[in-house]
Chain A
Amino acid sequence: MTSAAPSAPVEIELKLATDADGLAALSDAPELDGQSSVRRLDSTYFDTRDRRLTARGITLRVRKIGRRYVQTIKTAGKGSAGGLSTRSEWEWPVDGPKPDLSVIDDHSVIGLIGLVRPQELQAVFGTRVRRATRTLEFGGARIEVALDDGEVVAGRRRQPLHEVELELLAGDVDPLYELALALNRRHTLSIDPRSKAARGEALANGSAPQPKFQSSIDLPDDVTVDDGLALILGNCLTHWTENLPAVREGSDPEGIHQARVALRRLRSALQLFRPVIGAAEIEPLKHRLRALGNAMGPARDADVFIDEMLGPVATAMPQETSLAVLKQAAEAWRREGYAEARMALDGPQATEMALSMGHWIALRGWRQQPYSPTVEWLDRPMVDLADQLLQRRLRAVLKRGRGFANLPADARHEVRIAMKKLRYAVDFCAPLYPSPATKLFFKHLKRLQSLLGHLQDQAMTEAALGHLEGGGADAKLQRAVGLVAGWHAHAMVDLSTRTNAEWAAFKSAKPFWHV
């Protein structure tokens, strides 16, 4: 048994992070006007030595409220798109600060936890929070606003905790987002999809926020276009927001890289499903996504240059000191690029973007368009739409690639772009076609795409080298630039032959969809 019963009580809340000043300003915010009550919440989180509860996505905590103790069990949220988390939650009063699993009377919870012997449970970390709550009527919904000021404590490690939680008590999620967006306009808020438990767990392990790779999209094969869109777009948005903590606090460039990939996926999904979503809905979102995406450009270029272009040359010629000089210049360029990316991702527009996108997905913005024949598509099976979209994108690739072996560089660039679009279509729709044919097609596609990508990267090398040469005053730098340029000019010759062979293989790969 891996999932909670559908009857489990579900908590719908938006959680936003801020700092001490932000929290102080929020407590006087006119939007949050109302009588607030303050409580101290000291919680201790427990798990077995082998962290079985964490592995199952279960949080077990005992919270002291005044003189009472309450034991709470929460299950892993289903995504955190746009800061929205929905998790199942159960509570029982207990006699003391230690957890007591024998009070659990709900069999679905017992099945979830499995057998944990009482002496196996140990305290892992705790949170000490001063929580000011007030209940608002906002846009027809009843929302509980909690301002949390405190810290996470694990052994000797401490970390400040400043959060705003908006919990929907009654009504639609719509006003929940509107309130969050209104607050974000005046205050410094950022998306932090990690639960307090996840932060405590990370603190206890001494680990920085980790980059998150995209998770597979859970598309049932009979899903409708309407539900499929919500799942696909939600998956992309979650991929993005889950990487924001790593962008802010992490030193691993992978966090920024993943955030960039996620934004790219989000834009591609909107583009792919444009025929059913409607241009009017997409344009404003796309515009903002592009602005964020552009801020990631230099970081990506520097990554590609260092890893793909400079890397192989430096590995092949470890004695060549001039390459170290070039590497230094490139690293400085990369740092600048990452700083720019980090600034954009940590700014208010990123929070705004995540909230608006989450809002739009929760509202199913694509349902808001005026009636047209395309709207009827929304209730049809996703797989019917996918058949058409995949076929259309494959046709575009084949058309642009006609006479591939003799195509000039700019025409190959066109093929690469069409290929990339097909790749995204396959990425999003493949879960609808669970068969070996899908895997095989994907393999050929990836191989060819990677080679075409190399061709493109090499073309970009020229631009990158020009940028790094910096006027040509440094002789060593010039020598290194010459080495890298020469290396890749030669590699192009071989690459071109291999690409021709891969093109032929790709062309004969059988489509996995229903043609």
Chain B
Amino acid sequence: MLTILVANRKGGCGKTTIATHLAAAFANGGLHTALADTDRQRSAIGWLKRRPKHDAKIDGHDWTKSIGKPPKRCDRLVIDAPAAMRTSRVEDLIRAADIVIVPVLPSTFDEAATARFLKRIDALKPIRKEKTGVAIVGNRMRPRTRAGARLESFLANQGHFVAARLRESAIYAELAADGRSLFDLTTKRAAALAEDWDPLIAAIERSR
């Protein structure tokens, strides 16, 4: 089993979008997939409830009260981490993860807060010892904007690289409302947007 933790202290940076999309990508690939929600807002659980029955199956786990046991017979476990999270809890989750995905928005991007967060997780033992990888995802990126360029140079200075750049699109909001993902659609438009995710999926799969 490969455990993927999607985490950032800041809310609204697209954690749930990324967690639900990754889970759907794995499930559509035929892998036994579980999605665990640790955020009190329960947005991932809500998304699962809205998910149509005929779409690829994802097992939901409500971990908002306490962190549960990893499910049995599971190939990929995606954990949607809560926003404001106590250090000890983050550490527990990171220890259990094979890779930590950190979404960052260029528009509302707060250099000081992100630097603090990255510094904190870099100091954790599994990450320091390179047992757990860290992949940063630029979310809602507009090509050739100054905010995007600033984000990339800032991350490079922190010793991190951007694993994937997800273009901004209204489709994400529609999909969230339907409990679906790009990976559940067969349209050309969805396929083109889904390609943004390939480098992230490859980075996750390499961490095995």
Query: Once the chains are docked, how many angstroms separate the CA of A111 from the CA of B208?
Result: 12
Q: Are B205 and A110 in contact (CB under 8 A)?
A: no
Query: Once the chains are docked, how many angstroms separate the CA of A107 from the CA of B31?
Result: 8
Q: A1-B1, A50-B206, A52-B206 are in contact. Are A117 and B198 (CB under 8 A)?
A: yes
Q: Are A114 and B205 in contact (CB under 8 A)?
A: yes
Query: Once the chains are docked, how many angstroms separate the CA of A68 from the CA of B40?
Result: 54
A432 to chain B, nearest CB (A): 27
Residues of A within 8 A of B202 (CB): 48-50, 52, 120
12 A–B contacts from the bound complex (CB under 8 Å): A49-B202, A52-B202, A55-B206, A110-B29, A110-B30, A110-B31, A114-B29, A115-B25, A117-B198, A119-B195, A119-B198, A120-B202
Let me know if B152 is at the binding interface, CB within 8 A.
no
Number of residues in A with C-beta < 8 Å to the partner?
Answer: 19
Give the 6 A-B CB pairs with smallest separation, nearest first: A115-B29, A110-B30, A114-B205, A111-B75, A117-B198, A115-B26
Within 155-176 of B, Cβ neighbours of A (below 8 Å) are at none
Closest to A51 in B: B206
Let me know if A104 is at the binding interface, CB within 8 A.
yes
Residues of B within 8 A of A117 (CB): 198, 201
17 additional contacts (CB under 8 A) given A55-B206, A107-B32: A48-B202, A50-B202, A52-B205, A52-B206, A102-B30, A110-B30, A110-B31, A110-B75, A111-B31, A114-B2, A114-B29, A114-B205, A115-B25, A115-B76, A115-B205, A117-B198, A120-B198
A51 to chain B, nearest CB (A): 10
Residues of A within 8 A of B2 (CB): 114
Number of residues in B with C-beta < 8 Å to the partner?
Answer: 18
Within 96-110 of A, Cβ neighbours of B (below 8 Å) are at 101-102, 104, 107, 110
B208 to chain A, nearest CB (A): 6
A405 to chain B, nearest CB (A): 43
Query: Once the chains are docked, how many angstroms separate the CA of A50 from the CA of B202?
Result: 8
Interface string of B18-35 (1 = CB under 8 A from A): 000000011001111000
Query: Once the chains are docked, how many angstroms separate the CA of A120 from the CA of B32?
Result: 21
Let me know if A116 is at the binding interface, CB within 8 A.
yes
Residues of B within 8 A of A49 (CB): 202
Taking Cβ atoms with an 8 Å cutoff, the residues of A that contact B are: 1, 48-50, 52, 55-56, 101-102, 104, 107, 110-111, 114-117, 119-120
Q: A110-B31, A114-B31, A119-B198 are in contact. Are A1 and B75 (CB under 8 A)?
A: yes
Query: Once the chains are docked, how many angstroms separate the CA of A224 from the CA of B31?
Result: 37
Residues of B within 8 A of A101 (CB): 29
Interface string of B173-203 (1 = CB under 8 A from A): 0000000000000000000000100100110
Query: Once the chains are docked, how many angstroms separate the CA of A114 from the CA of B202?
Result: 10
A52 to chain B, nearest CB (A): 6
Query: Once the chains are docked, how many angstroms separate the CA of A30 from the CA of B29?
Result: 51
Residues of B within 8 A of A55 (CB): 206
Residues of B within 8 A of A116 (CB): 29, 205
Closest to A117 in B: B198
Query: Once the chains are docked, how many angstroms separate the CA of A115 from the CA of B26?
Result: 6
Residues of A within 8 A of B1 (CB): 1
B172 to chain A, nearest CB (A): 19
Residues of B within 8 A of A119 (CB): 195, 198
Within 10-48 of B, Cβ neighbours of A (below 8 Å) are at 25-26, 29-32
Closest to A110 in B: B30
Chain B CB within 10 Å, residue with most, of A55, A115, A116? A115
Query: Once the chains are docked, how many angstroms separate the CA of A119 from the CA of B191?
Result: 11
Q: Are B30 and A104 in contact (CB under 8 A)?
A: yes
Query: Once the chains are docked, how many angstroms separate the CA of A46 from the CA of B2?
Result: 24
Query: Once the chains are docked, how many angstroms separate the CA of A115 from the CA of B31?
Result: 8
Residues of B within 8 A of A50 (CB): 202, 206
Residues of A within 8 A of B204 (CB): 115
Interface string of B60-88 (1 = CB under 8 A from A): 00000000000000011000000000000
Query: Once the chains are docked, how many angstroms separate the CA of A143 from the CA of B121?
Result: 58
Closest to B25 in A: A115
Query: Once the chains are docked, how many angstroms separate the CA of A120 from the CA of B200?
Result: 12
Query: Once the chains are docked, how many angstroms separate the CA of A50 from the CA of B207?
Result: 12
| CB-contact partner of B30 in A1, A52, A107, under 8 A | A107
Residues of B within 8 A of A111 (CB): 31-32, 75
Closest to A56 in B: B208
Residues of B within 8 A of A114 (CB): 2, 29, 31, 75, 205, 208
Chain B CB within 10 Å, residue with most, of A101, A104, A107, A114? A114
Residues of B within 8 A of A1 (CB): 1, 75
Query: Once the chains are docked, how many angstroms separate the CA of A48 from the CA of B201?
Result: 12
Residues of B within 8 A of A120 (CB): 198, 202
Within 97-124 of B, Cβ neighbours of A (below 8 Å) are at none
Residues of A within 8 A of B30 (CB): 102, 104, 107, 110
